[in-house]
Amino acid sequence: MIVKERTESDELLKMRSLYTRMELTQEEKLHYFNLEKGYEGEVAFDRKAECLQEERYLINDLLLKLNNSYFQIDTTLISQEVIRLLDVKNFEGDFCLEKDRFYAVKTGREYKNPIEQLNKCTSQFRQLLRDLKLNFLVEASVIFINPEFTLYNAQIDQPVILPNQVNHFFRNLNSTSSKLNAGHEKLAKQLISLHRTNNPYSQVPKYQYEQLKKKIYCKFCSSFLVSLQNHFFVCAKCGENETVEDTILRNVKEFKLLFPERKITTTNIYEWCNVDLTKRTFCRVLKKNFTAVGKTSDSYYI
């Protein structure tokens, strides 16, 4: 049973918008691509997890704080006998684990050692449980979800689940009975209540309104090659379409995410979308979907 759904982080959503609307540096682009790939891997894991049976709680994307230090858990799986902390990685290619080093074989590029990260996270989680005066068995694993991933030098006693072991991992879980009680429910609720929404480690580059391209783009392929046909915006690149109202609302959401300090007004959204629609159309959509504050030219929507 999923008690906290997985959603795209604000960091990913912002980077996706900035990648489309402004020129990022190579380092910023790499960070964005890594965010996309990481989320793609987590979604692939979620599809695998749909096979889980018996009574279990699935809590996705927990960001917790302990003693002024933050730690993140991709998936927390609460079962009858044990809590499993699962860190999902979507690396692709040949990698090597050598003492404390974790690196790509082809390029030699080093990455943060996922086992060290997991061990630190597990230690913090156990401390959190002690602070809450809760006593549960905790186990943790790094799950490499990408089928094109190979890891050399992995030891049998390391908390690693390789791509060809993922299905077996879920079969083992399903072979173990799990019945939850009020204690498990209390734990799930406490963890969700402790979840932090603002990630201090977010790496969104600085940007200003004037830097960003003002225009609507395709929801499906991010192309700006869209045109109005009847009541739809049609993409000349991928052929997909979206209603005028849905397009406007999507752009309002993006505007609010990028510029929370700016008010949602007809003029602001009209300028942001920069498309061949009348202000009256924008006003109609905003009035239908939001609450107007004020009745003058200075009115805005919440």
- Kindly list the averaged pLDDT for each block of 10 residues, start to end, along the chain of length 302: 94 98 97 97 97 95 94 97 98 94 96 96 97 95 98 93 97 95 96 93 95 97 94 96 97 98 96 95 96 85 94
Q: Do 240 and 221 touch, CB atoms closer than 8 A?
A: yes
Query: Measured between alpha carbons, how far is 46 from 124 in angstroms, rounded to an integer?
Result: 24
pLDDT score at 196? 94
| Structural contact between residues 140 and 159, judged by C-beta atoms closer than 8 angstroms | yes
As to burial, measured by CB atoms within 10 angstroms (0-12 exposed, 13-18 middle, 19+ buried), residue 217 is: buried
Q: What are phi and psi of 144, to 5 degrees?
A: -90, 105
Distance CA 192, CA 18 (A): 30
Predicted pLDDT at 99:
84
pLDDT at 241: 96
Closest CA to 275 of 244, 243, 239: 244
Q: Domain boundaries in the chain? A: 2-194, 214-301
Count of beta carbons in the 10 Å neighbourhood of residue 229: 9
Query: How do 83-89 and 138-144 pair as beta strands?
Result: parallel
